Amino acid sequence: MMIRGENMSKIFKVRSMVVQAFRDHFFANGYYEVTPPTLVQTQVEGGSTLFKLDYFGEEAYLTQSSQLYLETCIPALGDVFCVAQSYRAEQYTHIEAECPFISFEDLLDRLENLGFQPPKRPFRRMNYSEAIEWLKEHDVKKEDGTYYEFGEVSLSEAL
């Protein structure tokens, strides 16, 4: 039931857009997406909590990072990235990338290129009735699929 709620729905939508933005960036810059395994036979980062399980009589762990797997893909694919769950004491979804044969300067350039671009100012200003009309023009609907009407939108919902 919680997933159907308004807050979780908004979280999932924002998460979807953020992940898509990362994917768009990586694809536009020549990376290949890799889907690494979730179960591994060894730890990736020393000292982190390992979640151990029996996998058909073999000892296995939920992965802490996809770094080692991505590194093995580099000779065949070059620049690679993944969006994958990592299982640690903290809950993470990692967006990881590996790039062979780049200098530190190249790394800094790539990090700057990946950086968030703040929206340009001034922000669009409109009164309440214009905002309702803008939502309809851009096909923004409530969870039940209907359009917002006067009195149903607050600034906190829009954020």
- Tokens (6 digits) for 25: 């960036």
Please give the Cα distance from 99 to 103 (Å, whole number).
Answer: 10
Q: What is the DSSP string of 94-121?
A: EEEEE-SS--HHHHHHHHHHHS--PPPS
Instruction: Give the CATH number, domain containing residue 109.
Output: 3.30.930.10
Give pLDDT, residue 48.
61
- What domain range is 55 assigned to? 2-117
Phi, psi of 70, deg, nearest 5: -60, -40
Q: What is the average per-residue pLDDT within 97-125? A: 83
Residues 146 and 103 in one domain: no
Is residue 44 within 8 A of residue 64, CB to CB? The reply is yes
Percent of the chain with pLDDT over 90: 33
Residues 75 and 10 in one domain: yes
Residues 58 and 22 in one domain: yes
Whole-model pTM: value is: 0.67
Give the least confident one: 17-31, 98-112, 119-133: 119-133
Give pLDDT, residue 159.
40
Please give the Cα distance from 21 to 18 (Å, whole number).
Answer: 5
Query: What tens digit of pLDDT does each residue of 27-66 get?
Result: 999 999 999 998 988 776 665 678 889 999 999 988 888 8
Residues 27 and 47 in one domain: yes
Residues 14 and 86 in one domain: yes
Phi, psi of 17, deg, nearest 5: -70, -40
Give pLDDT, residue 124.
79
Residues 89 and 133 in one domain: no
- Tokens (6 digits) for 124: 């669009």
Structural domain tally of the chain?
Answer: 2
pLDDT band at 71 (very low <50, low <70, confident <90, very high): very high
User: What counts of helices (H) and strands (E) characterise the chain?
Assistant: 5, 6
Q: What is the average per-residue pLDDT within 14-39? A: 94
